[in-house]
Amino acid sequence: AVAHAQEPHHPSEKPVIHCHKCGEPCKGEVLRVQARHFHIKCFTCK
């Protein structure tokens, strides 16, 4: 195994969820559809 020098990871931190549509990190309310996450304002029915 090779150790990579990255940002220190804290176990208490949740992984960052990114919006499947706009790619921005989701904070607050997140809409999950199957395995994808969306901002509520980004998710629109087609």
What is the C-alpha separation between 39 and 17, in angstroms, rounded?
A: 10
The predicted-structure confidence for 1-45, as pLDDT tens digits, reads as follows 656 555 555 556 667 899 999 999 988 889 999 999 999 999 876
pLDDT at 19: 94
- Contact yes or no for 21/40 (Cβ under 8 A): no
pTM for the full predicted model? 0.57
In 1-46, DSSP assigns E strands to 30-33, 36-39
Per domain, the residue ranges of the chain are 16-46
pLDDT at 21: 94
